[in-house]
Structure 1
Amino acid sequence: MGEESPGGRRFTRRRRANAPGGRQHRHEVKVTPEEEAVLLRLALAQEVTVPRLLVESALASETGETATERRNAIAELFRAHRLLAAISNNVNQMAKATNATGEVQEDLVETLRAVRRTAGRIDEAIDGLSLS
């Protein structure tokens, strides 16, 4: 789930938010070039920095998911919700036209497919949250 910049553009926060009083403890971790490549790939995939990836991954052992994974799942649910709202508006318009004319609208079949796809996305997001 991105944040909004002053210009109204959405962006993903790569760094963690500032902590009250700052962070007093620091840890240095040395890795091999292969480990660095894996860390960079994972951090890029989650759109976070390597330090944030390491902290979230370590702290996720209790909950089974990182804050970034949960944020991404919630963002996907919001996107699916907005899409479903737009689709439902189309279905309502088609139902109104069908009731008025007695003829089924051409776009009805594709719209109902979109409903099924969106419902599938919601199910996948929920499954992803429940497996965590």
Structure 2
Amino acid sequence: MRRSQLFGRSRRENSESPRDKRYVVYVNAEEQAALEARAVVAGGITVPRLLVESAMNANVQTRSDVRKFITGVFELQDGLAAIGNNVNQLAKFANTERVYPSDAEATFEEVRRVARLIEATVQSWDLT
């Protein structure tokens, strides 16, 4: 019995339009071994098929995607630190003057907004 009969189709489905574009990718020996191992684990597919299927997967996170995410989190952290400074100033004023500052509620709403933004950002990424 042929492999394709045991494990299903070994090549990609025919395409409506011709596949006339080719990419050449150079890898070192370590990368080659890793790609070949992943292709075997993925069901004994070819490395080119593995690369195409991986790249076309909407859930793929590239290193540049992760860098953008980390940069965004740091920006959010800086914004939250600035808001925290405002909260400290409001607390000092309230303790010194024994008066609730008029702009305190707007500051606290901004804290809640940024906290929700951070939570949504972190939940949108699977970092595993």
**TM-score band, normalised by shorter chain:** 0.5 to 0.7
2:67 partner SS = helix
Equivalent in 116, 123, 126 of residue 127 of structure 1: 123
CA distance in 1, matches of 2:60, 2:23: 22
CA distance in 2, matches of 1:98, 1:67: 46
| Matching residue's letter, 2:96 | A
User: In structure 2, what is the equivalent of residue 88 of structure 1?
Assistant: 84
Spell out the pairing of 1:1-132 with structure 2 (5 A cutoff): 27=23, 58=55, 64-130=60-126
| Matching residue's letter, 2:91 | A
What are the ranges of 5 or more consecutive residues in structure 2 without an aligned counterpart? 1-21, 25-50
1:64 partner SS = coil
- The count of corresponding residues between Structure 1 and Structure 2 is 79
Larger radius of gyration: 2
Q: CA deviation at 1:130?
A: 2.6
* Alignment root-mean-square deviation, CA: 2.9
Question: Deviations 1:54-111 (Å, cap 9, x if unpaired)?
Answer: 99x62x96x8312222111111101110000000000000000000111111110010
User: Percent same amino acid at aligned positions?
Assistant: 37
Q: Is the 8 A contact 1:73 1:128 kept in 2?
A: no
CA distance in 2, matches of 1:66, 1:107: 42
Q: CA deviation at 1:125?
A: 1.5
